[in-house]
Chain A
Amino acid sequence: MTEIQTLHILNKSPEHPRFTRCLSMAGPEDAVLLIENGVLGLGTASASVSGKLLALEADMAARGMGGQSGTVESVDYDAMVELTTRAQQVISW
């Protein structure tokens, strides 16, 4: 199982200043998990994240983005819990 340095949990829409800052801070050994309104920024995020990009299934489906799960690794809450235990540090943006 690969180690994650920092897991960034991003729940802000791409219009929020924290969205851009989070993406610019995430390094190659980090993972960014888009949840809630964060999933709306999937397109923007996949173009600029250097580490791993993941998105919460339920939040994507709720927003009619279930069909895009092929473009990103989609995870459920069980996997989200596992990610938080694998990461050295977790930051909620």
Chain B
Amino acid sequence: MQDSNPFSFTIVITGAPYSSQAPQSALNFAEAAIKAGHRVERVFLYGDGVHLASALASPPSDEPHWPREWSAFLEKHSIPGVACIASALRRGLVDEGEQKRYELSASNLLTPFVIAGLGEWVEGRMTSSRTLYFHGSD
């Protein structure tokens, strides 16, 4: 069913995959929002939520691969996925640029995620009709 009054959403995920249900709930919500004809403007990973953008997560094959499921969803709908740079660097999540800057041995950011500052969240907060948070439940 298409909604006659489309909304735009910024989705913020602060709970990590495999230690919280947040990435999973957020994905179900985002899929339903698009199905209803709304727009997901941007997904912002903050705090422990940045672990969702790890290219190295390797869950057992009979468990859902949340980073890959999110990555496929973002690519399919051309939605920017942004991991907060301060949260990401602290937790060992880096792209090639940060790898060079800090002279690290590897980078591990899953495409299409990018690393950027909290300004991306502020912008989403200002321009989207709704900014929705998915936290861990501890």
Contacts and interface: CB of A to CB of B under 8 A. Distances in A.
Interface stretch (B33-41, B47-55, B63-71): B33-41
Contact of B25 (A35, A81, A82, A90): A35
Contacts of B35: 78
Interface stretch (B77-85, B102-110, B114-122, B129-137): B129-137
Interface in B11-29: 21-22, 25, 28-29
Contact of A85 (B5, B133, B137): B5
Determine chain B's interface SS by DSSP, over half rule: mixed
Contact of B31 (A9, A12, A77): A77
* Interface size grouping (class) on chain B: 20 to 34
A49 interface: no
B36 A36 contact: no
A4 to B, nearest CB: 13
Contacts of A12: 137
Contacts, number: 54
B132 A84 contact: yes
Contact of B29 (A13, A37, A81): A81
Contacts of A85: 3, 5, 7, 38, 129-130
Given A16-B137, A37-B137, 10 more contacts: A11-B134, A35-B25, A36-B21, A78-B1, A81-B32, A82-B3, A84-B9, A85-B3, A85-B5, A85-B7
30 contacts: A9-B132, A11-B135, A12-B137, A13-B137, A16-B138, A35-B25, A36-B21, A37-B21, A38-B137, A58-B28, A76-B32, A77-B28, A77-B31, A77-B32, A78-B32, A78-B35, A78-B36, A80-B32, A81-B29, A81-B36, A81-B38, A82-B3, A84-B7, A84-B9, A84-B130, A85-B7, A90-B132, A92-B133, A92-B134, A93-B135
